[in-house]
Amino acid sequence: MATIILGVCGSIAAYKAADVASRLVKLGHEVHCVCTPTALQFVTPLTLMTLSRNPVITTFEEETGSWVPVHIDLAQRADVLAIVPASANTMACMAHGMAPNALTSLYLANRAPVLIFPAMNGNMWNHPATQQNASDLLARPSHRIIGPDDAGMLACGVEGQGRLVPVERIVDEILSELAAR
């Protein structure tokens, strides 16, 4: 089956990445979670490791098991990189080629298709800077942005755009991308 890298960013929706990982593993895929430091404020590495059945990468200090850095090895083996959820900060780093953490460093080394599933406050999503970053990412080969959902109650108590698309859709989009390869 496929090797799927699941990038997890700092967003209240980060807990849904655990469900995505679990569903993909049950379908027989090899799932590796790579978390930004802020993602760990919302979901624990133990949860993601248990559900993905692989160690979770959160810092460069954890990359001591091989002479090839883990983020480089995973980038070379990836069949798809899915960012679930994608924060405004991580999208900005990706759009501008900045690599302050293991996930954004892996992104720069990655050559597999990139699926970006944003989740953030609607004002953050609609800000001209975020929209420009999204446009820049969409202009790159094999990059897709799915979401955010157009309406619903956000964690901040505001009704509107910004919610992560449903887990079922995330899994379906990943599987569709793999089938297209």
- How confident is the model over 72-82, as a mean pLDDT? 93
Tally Cβ neighbours within 10 Å of residue 97: 9
- pLDDT in the model for residue 162: 76
Range name among 27-31, 53-57, 147-151 with the lowest pLDDT average: 147-151
Q: Is residue 139 part of a domain?
A: yes
pTM, full prediction: 0.93
Q: Is residue 152 part of a domain?
A: no
Does the annotation mark 156 as catalytic? yes
Q: Is residue 164 part of a domain?
A: no
Q: Is residue 10 part of a domain?
A: yes
- How confident is the model over 8-33, as a mean pLDDT? 97
Query: Quick one: pLDDT band at residue 34, thresholds 50, 70, 90?
Result: very high
Q: Is residue 69 part of a domain?
A: yes
Catalytic residue among 9, 35, 93, 156: 156
Q: Do strands 30-35 and 80-86 pair parallel, antiparallel, or not at all (unpaired)?
A: unpaired
Domain that holds residue 131: 3-147
Indicate which CATH number applies to the domain containing 108. 3.40.50.1950
List residues bridging with 153 in a β-sheet.
159
Tally Cβ neighbours within 10 Å of residue 103: 27
Residue 74: C-alpha distances to residues 45, 71, 117, 135, 168 (Å): 17, 5, 20, 26, 25
Q: Is residue 178 part of a domain?
A: no
pLDDT over 70 at 158, yes or no = no
What's the number of domains the chain is made of? Answer: 1
Q: Is residue 158 part of a domain?
A: no
Q: Is residue 174 part of a domain?
A: no
